[in-house]
Amino acid sequence: MNRDLIRQLLEMHDELHGFIYSIVRDYHVAQDLLQEVSMVAIDQAQRGEEILNLRAWVKQVARHHVMNYWRERRRQRANMPMEELANVAAEAFSEYNDEAQVVADEREALHRCLGQTPERMRTMLRLRYMEQRDFSVIAKIVGRNEEAVRQAISRTRRLLAECLQRQLRGPAGNS
């Protein structure tokens, strides 16, 4: 099995899960679809078929799996009685509003936490997650070795997660 492919898939896990989740809006469904997409990539590699741009290829496979998921879901709902369908729709809208507020709260808390993060750490996060740069490239840009960059990003993510937890706990956590 191609270890490089597995490593790349693991590195893209959060990005791909977020991509799929943004469409299906269900954490567990997104996890299931991500596993299916990963298996397709592994099968492709085991057949010896080269994938030139893994990120783009995996996102395209993910799109197809998401479309199939929605087709199947629509087919299942077509067989539902109208009253049950209305209840499902009402529940979905309710969950969507709740989720939208949670996402907005999390985004605001993340913004506050990032504001407390040193500029050098924000730069490394931007390079890694927004610009999709490799650790080696980031290391050259910021003048540190690759392992130091990996550790700094990992530590910053952990600190951001802790800050988010404090921020989201409410007024008692905003000290």
Give the CATH number, domain containing residue 104: 1.10.10
b/e map 19-45, b = 16+ CB within 10 Å: bbbebbeeeebbeebbeebbebbeebb
Q: Are residues 16 and 68 in the same domain?
A: yes
> Domain containing 120: what range?
81-175
Is residue 174 very low, low, confident or very high in pLDDT (cuts 50, 70, 90)?
A: very low
Q: Average pLDDT for residues 121-131, to the nearest whole number?
A: 86
Q: Are residues 26 and 92 in the same domain?
A: no
Q: Average pLDDT for residues 87-108, to the nearest whole number?
A: 62
Q: Average pLDDT for residues 98-127, to the nearest whole number?
A: 82
Q: Are residues 67 and 86 in the same domain?
A: no
Q: Are residues 92 and 152 in the same domain?
A: yes
Checking if the pLDDT of 149 tops 90, the result is: yes
Checking if the pLDDT of 173 tops 50, the result is: no
Q: Are residues 93 and 172 in the same domain?
A: yes
User: How far is residue 33 CA from its own chain's centroid?
Assistant: 12
Q: Are residues 96 and 175 in the same domain?
A: yes
Q: Are residues 70 and 92 in the same domain?
A: no
